[in-house]
Amino acid sequence: MKRILFFVFISTILVVHAQEETKEGKQINIVYGANFTKDEASAPGASIFSKDNDRQVQFEHQGADLWCDIAIFYSAENKLRAIGNVRLQQGDSIEMNSGKLDYDGNTKIARAWQNVDLTDGQMILTTDTLYFNREKQESFYKSGGKVVDSANTLTSIIGTYFMELKKVQFRNNVHIDNPEYTIDSEQLDYYRVSKNAYMYGPSTIIGEEYTIYCERGFYDTKIEQGYGVKNTTINYSNRIIEGDSVYFDKTTSFASATNNIKVTDTINDGVIRAHYAEVFKEKDSLFATKRAVAISLVQQDSLYIHGDTLMVTGPPEDRRLRAFRNAKFYKTDLSGKCDSIHSSEKTGITKLITEPILWNVDNQMTGDSIYLISDLETEKLDSLKVIENAFIIALDTIGKVGYNQAKGVNLYGKFIENELKIIDLVRNTEVVYYLYNDDNELIGIDKTICSKIRLEMANSDIEDITFFVNPDGNIFPEEDLPEEGRKLKGFIWRGDERIYSKEEIFDEDDNNIQLVKIRGIDNPIDIDAEEQERNGIPISTPPKVQKPNSKAITNKKPVLKRTNSN
């Protein structure tokens, strides 16, 4: 029993001793008290110190020193209030100045107000009221503040400075002023060393030659480079770029976008849609792939041009569009496909290259190359050229069995009010045409050869045929012209390939593209880890700062000068 009582007694002594050591370690120490007095009426239980002619009052607490003109010190509560020319110094870098300051030695939290500024040697933070949590190494304001460093001036309503990360988190009406650009955001996390900014909520960056909007993004403020990953839009080089992820680099005059992209040509009113695109400002060019399509307005009707790859080059007045590999296009009354398509704003010519085929409503046209030509003034379709081996075929719309056909070396068509009205075939021309009376009864099949044929169209059907220069032909009764004689040499009907809608310009591969997963769209990005990765710091090793030397507490002895209290 005695042993048990002895053990309890010793344990109690050890606990009390440990508590006293802990309390002593947290106690605010007086380094220089200067003039001392008390005023129980206004500050009961407090010791009041004021500066003398030599120096200010000075206190020390766990690696931080504080100077002021007047200090009201509550030693029992381990708290003090500093008044007049207050300066708090932590380590070799952190310094805070203010008119007044309250400090709690137990929680290591300071509240400074009246013309507050805090600096770490590389930046200065100013505000009217600042809270400094020395335990967490964080300071924050909530009534407006400003941070100035070597690159930027940043302001916001709310701000928190994380000293170990050297990061300032700004909230509400965030604004950055830089000679080259401005940034406005709802929330912006700014890393003081790298000058990198991470934006959340509606954010706008305005540079000399670009405007960026996003609701989550990154921006390197030193070199004007960054990206957005939520509702991002860049207005750049007469183009508006939108996408799930959009990247921008001023130095290389380059922008790129990934997933659900829309690039709008603000001068020529054209649109590119794709899942990957690149814009090169200096070269005035754009590259797009992955379900890429160019959309332009032709006489109040949209023209869709698709290829495995789209290239747009040249200044606005000489913009050129190229669609490479598996090129297709669609317009309500016009569609076609070929290996590649070249189109020029300056000449108004769109060229279909390598095995082109064109459908004008129900008319199928083929040749070695096909040209669609627009009127540069009205921007309406003006004419059509099929060069070498021109062949036009249309299903007989009455009998639904045979095919009306015409062929020649070249074909020239004329559009009137966006409708193909006149077709001229020249050199070595041939025709097979089904003739009907007013009762839609088949009269016979006209088969003729001559030097030139003109087809006059109405509602995309042949209304009249004119033969020029020594036509040679006959109208055959149906029974007198065998099946093989009703098709001209080179006849190939490709009706099953015809494109009936804008969706049909895409093939199975286009529609089954697996989109790249964009980090940060679905889940928040750990920006502290990303910042470490960006600066080559292993993510498993958080950035370190030297802790204040707590041993210094026991080495300092207070210097007191006393006066008689009233």
Which residue in 108, 81, 138, 137 sits closest to 27, CA to CA?
Answer: 108
pLDDT tens for each residue of 255-287: 999 999 999 988 888 899 999 999 998 888 999
What is the band of 213 on the pLDDT scale with cuts at 50, 70, 90? Answer: very high
Q: Are both 155 and 41 inside the same structural domain?
A: no
What residues have CB less than 8 Å from 9, skipping those under 6 apart?
none
Kindly state the average pLDDT of the residues 168-182. Answer: 94
| Whether 406 and 499 share a structural domain | yes
Characterize 440-461 residue by residue with b for buried, 16 or more Cβ atoms within 10 angstroms of its Cβ, and e for exposed.
eebebbbbbbbebbbbebeeee
User: Considering the chain, what is the average pLDDT of its residues?
Assistant: 86
Give dist(CA 264, CA 224) in Å, integer. Answer: 23
Please state, in angstroms and as integers, the Cα–Cα distance from residue 375 to each residue in 298, 299, 333, 381, 512, following that order.
11, 11, 18, 6, 38
Residue 461, domain member (yes or no): yes
Token pair, residue 122, equals 């590389």
What is the pTM (predicted TM-score) of this model? 0.78
pLDDT value for 531: 79
Question: Could you give the CA distance from residue 390 to residue 426 in angstroms, rounded to a whole number?
Answer: 9
SS3 182: strand
Residue 483 lies in a domain: yes
| Residue 214 in tokens | 């996003």
Helix (H, G, I), strand (E, B) or coil at 428: strand
Considering the domain architecture, whether residues 430 and 472 belong to the same structural domain is answered as: yes
* pLDDT (average), residues 409-428: 90
Q: Are 83 and 68 in contact (CB under 8 A)?
A: yes
**Residue 269 pLDDT:** 80
**Final residue belonging to a domain, choices 135, 152, 167:** 135
Q: Does residue 220 have a pLDDT over 90?
A: yes
Q: What is the pLDDT of residue 268?
A: 80
Burial of 265 (0-12, 13-18, 19+ CB in 10 A): buried
Query: How large is the average pLDDT for residues 528-548?
Result: 56
Contact predicate 279/286, CB 8 Å: yes
Q: Does residue 160 form part of some domain?
A: yes
Confidence of residue 408 (pLDDT cuts 50, 70, 90): very high
On whether both 351 and 498 belong to a single domain, the answer is yes
Residue predicted with more confidence, 172 or 375: 172
Examine the pLDDT at 558 and tell me if it is beyond 70: no
Final residue belonging to a domain, choices 135, 158, 187: 135
Residues 6 or more apart whose CB falls under 8 angstroms from that of 170 comprise 147, 154, 155, 156, 158, 159, 185, 187, 188, 189, 190
d(Cα 298, Cα 348) in Å, to the nearest integer?
12
CA distances from 365 to 362, 387, 449 (A): 10, 11, 19
Whether 151 and 234 share a structural domain: yes
Look at residue 330 and tell me if it is in a domain: no
pLDDT score at 314: 87
Same domain? For 444 and 525 the reply is no
Let me know whether 171 and 104 are in one domain.
Answer: no
Q: Any idea which residue has 């040249």 for tokens?
A: 314
217 in a domain, yes or no?
yes
Model confidence at 537, in pLDDT bands (50, 70, 90)? low
Q: What is the pLDDT at residue 131?
A: 97
Separation in Å, CA 45 to CA 39, 74, 231: 8, 6, 59
Please, which residues have CB within 8 angstroms of residue 423's CB and are 6 or more apart in sequence? 392, 406, 411, 412, 413, 414, 454, 455, 457
In a domain? residue 317: no
Are 477 and 347 in a shared domain?
A: yes
State which H helix or E strand residue 532 sits in.
helix 527-534
Residues 110 and 188 in one domain: no
Q: Does 365 share its domain with 492?
A: yes
| The total number of structural domains that make up the chain | 3
**Per-residue model confidence (pLDDT) at position 225:** 92
Q: What is d(CA 500, CA 427) in angstroms, rounded to the nearest whole number?
A: 32
Highest mean pLDDT among 145-154, 233-242, 478-487, 520-529: 145-154
Of 115-129, 326-340, 513-527, 549-563, which range is least confident?
Answer: 549-563
7-26 mean pLDDT:
42
Q: SS3 for 310?
A: strand
Q: Phi then psi for 534, rounded to 5 degrees?
A: -65, -30
* Same structural domain, 209 and 155: yes
Task: Report the chain's terminal Cα–Cα distance, integer Å.
Answer: 57
The answer, yes or no, to whether residue 175 has pLDDT greater than 80, is: yes
Q: Tell me the C-alpha distance between 348 and 318, whole Å.
A: 10
Query: Do the strands 210-220 and 225-230 form a parallel or antiparallel pair, or are they unpaired?
Result: antiparallel
At residue 158, the pLDDT reads 96
- On the question of pLDDT at 356 being above 80, the answer is yes
Task: Verify that 194 and 286 share a domain, yes or no.
Answer: yes
pLDDT reported for residue 376: 85
pLDDT band at 10 (very low <50, low <70, confident <90, very high): very low
- CA pair distance 426, 412, nearest whole angstrom: 8
295 within domain boundaries: no
Distance of alpha carbon 470 from alpha carbon 451, whole angstroms = 7
Write the DSSP symbol of residue 546: P
Domain of residue 347 covers 343-507
Residues across the chain: 566
Q: What is the DSSP letter of 6?
A: H
For the segment 456-476, the average pLDDT, to the nearest whole number, is 85
Q: Domain with 461 in it: what CATH number?
A: 2.60.450.10
CB 189 within 8 A of CB 169: yes
Asked if residue 178 has pLDDT above 80, the reply is yes
Whether 318 is covered by a domain: the verdict is: no
pLDDT at 121: 87
